[in-house]
Amino acid sequence: DIENLSDLKKLAVLGLGNGGVVYKVSHQKTNSIYALKLLRLDHNAAFISHQAAAREAEILKRVDSQFIVKCHAVFYTLEGELCFVMEHMEGGSLFDVLRVRGKFSEDVISGIALRVLKGLQYLHGMQIIHGDIKPSNLLINAKGEVKIADFGVSRIVGGTPAPCEACMGTGTCAYMSPERVDSERWSGGADYDYYDYGFAGDVWSLGVVILECSVGHYPLIGMGEKPDLVALICAICFGETLEIPETASPEFRSFVKTCLEKDWRKRGSLDKLLAHPFVNRTTSSNVII
């Protein structure tokens, strides 16, 4: 068991997020490698409140699935930092791999989609809305398998009721659904709140990620266009012509359209998508190699 920061030796920086730094560390006693995410709660005036950090810790402690990045320990340091000791994902994030590889074959994308769907099925089954599915929050292990990470803006239904302030703070709304970026127009009225449409929002985000894996850049606006907030929100809410590559298979096209249905009440459910032919292909390899 890891209970102390002094048990861990920092080897390298794996990533910088809005909330903190992620290090590659080794556990001295067992010689095992982990990823350590440190959230500096005090002088992070920016976006991380104690409440948000505690929520992330609470979620990570509950979650145990092969489709979610495992968290082995959570503790506070004397300096007031919150530490997450996580499974080290050797392949880095899908964001980084996409930048290097450009795009992926449909077989690989099918494998990514299936694993994210299963991860979401697990989370939603526990009444957890991830809320921030995007390439930098999907991590890849040494086998080339994708897992969901980063519960910084997630919500447990019935838990701390502080819906989606996160989007504006955490940089981008690029992967957020229409009902999330403009809930007044798209949520369907006062009868619905984030705990109703949040689950479908995770499906939308997956659709954007999947399409990005195929076209090789953020897919809802043109490559040269300036992705300012207004352009993004317009593209998400009103953009009609999806740039799906001509070479894409009919199954891919249908899968992406099912995820990117603007009306969340008509959007594909996880069950429907898990039964979709696009994620039920028999392929020789659907991992990222």
Angle between helices 106-125 and 250-259 (to 10 degrees): 30
Q: Which does 69 bind (CB under 5 to 8 A by kind): ligand ATP, Mg ion, none?
A: ligand ATP
Closer residue to Mg ion, CB minimum distance, 139 or 156: 139
Q: In Å, how far from its chain's centre is CA 228?
A: 21
Print the binding letters for residues 148-177 with ligand ATP: x by CB under 6 A, - otherwise.
-xx-x-----------------x-------
Distance, in Å, from the CA atom of 189 to the CA atom of 184, rounded to the nearest integer, reads 7
Task: Name 82's bridge partners.
Answer: 39, 76
Q: Which sign does the torsion angle of CA 225, 242, 260, 272 carry?
A: negative
> Which of the residues 96, 132, 191, 263 is marked catalytic?
132
Q: Which of 7, 11, 17, 163 binds Mg ion (CB under 5 A)?
A: 17
Distance, in Å, from the CA atom of 91 to the CA atom of 213, rounded to the nearest integer, reads 16
Closer residue to ligand ATP, CB minimum distance, 39 or 260: 39
Q: Which sign does the torsion angle of CA 185, 186, 189, 190 carry?
A: negative
Specify the stretch interacting with ligand ATP by CB under 6 A; choose among 85-93, 229-237, 239-247, 251-259: 85-93
Closer residue to Mg ion, CB minimum distance, 175 or 252: 175
For the question of residue 132 being annotated catalytic, the response is: yes
Q: Which of 56, 81, 106, 150 binds Mg ion (CB under 5 A)?
A: 150
Retrieve residue 57's tokens.
């810790």
Distance, in Å, from the CA atom of 116 to the CA atom of 165, rounded to the nearest integer, reads 24
Interacting residues with Mg ion (CB under 5 A): 17, 137, 150
Give the interface with ligand ATP as residue ranges (CB under 6 A). 14-15, 17-20, 22, 35, 37, 69, 86-89, 92-93, 136-137, 139, 149-150, 152, 170
Q: Report, as residue numbers or ranges, the catalytic residues.
A: 132
